[in-house]
Structure 1
Amino acid sequence: MVDVEPMQQAKRPVNAIAGPYGHPLHPALVTIPIGAWITSLVFDIASHVVHSETFLADGSRWLIAVGVLGALAAATVGVLDLFAIPTRTRAFRTALVHMSINLAVTAAYAIGFVIRGGQPATPVPIGALALSAAALAALTVSGYLGGELTYRYGVRVADEITQADGYRTTPVATTIEKEGH
């Protein structure tokens, strides 16, 4: 038999900064680095295809910076969500791996930002492009683990009683009831 209390604990925010019950901020904030880093890779690849590639290389570098800043914001509230998960559980171990991969990915992108320098090389050097591709692949693994935490283990997801509110049906009023008969 499973003790339900640890599962309920993982659903509640530790701090208001993490977002209210049933509305965690971490999933919303992760869209910033994910979108920025995917687009930066597209720009990196495109810099090898178009003739005027400087704007793509420069844009890619700044998208990486936006992604790193977004990742730091997401990590801040993600750590608060981590504190809600009871230690010595499979969910906690999964969260630690998720966090570790994300930190490595963020560090890789920060390094990528620095090695690209102030004036963009055009097209984007293959090494920088490969670093971004590898980091994005690792981010995909981490995203899978984040999905495990949410959809399998229910971390920071409202409990089933709360969720049931969204599935209650209201009786459809008949024509007679609408007309007041």
Structure 2
Amino acid sequence: MDSSSNQAEFDYLFKLLMIGDSGVGKSSLLLSFTSDTFEDLSPTIAGQERFRTLTSSYYRGAQGIIMVYDVTRRETFTNLSDVWAKEIGLYSTNQDCIKMLVGNKVDKENERVVTRKEGINFARECGCLFIECSAKTRVNVQQCFEELVLKILDTPALLADGSKGVKKNIFEENPSQSDTSTSSCC
């Protein structure tokens, strides 16, 4: 029996990277997108210094980078420019890599401290796509991933590495900074 018949068919296979402080909802966004469910997840490998040595391999070859912050915690927004954007500059190997800025937890509108306008302005400065969403209510979650992939598909230089038959990691989540909060993701 041909074992390849058990493998999922795909036209493109892209490596996407999610980065951002611990607790902003990276894992929950992914879970919400892939399974239509929401859970209060325990922190993944967040804040563990021993994982920082893996940084360059996380970025290598990524066609898309999703930069996530929590609209109710300003430090998670400022850390994107102070820490994470610098990391992208250092480690990203694809100069045409598509970046998307994502403001998560808009379901907590009454606790919001980062305005939509601030998000739009930062995205414009760093040449990112921008969207606000909620992993909890699933508002804009589908659109977040779809818009990123459509932009990658519209970038010829990125398609060579994502063509049919190339075996790559579809998704990786970068360990969060060691000096950030380890509150649960949601």
With structure 2 as the length reference, what TM-score do the two structures score? 0.29
**Highest relative contact order (Cα 8 Å, sep 6+), 1 or 2?**
2
The TM-score normalised by the length of structure 1 is: 0.30
Q: Which has the higher strand share?
A: 2
The answer to which structure has the higher helix fraction is: 1
> Which of structures 1 and 2 has the bigger CA Rg?
1
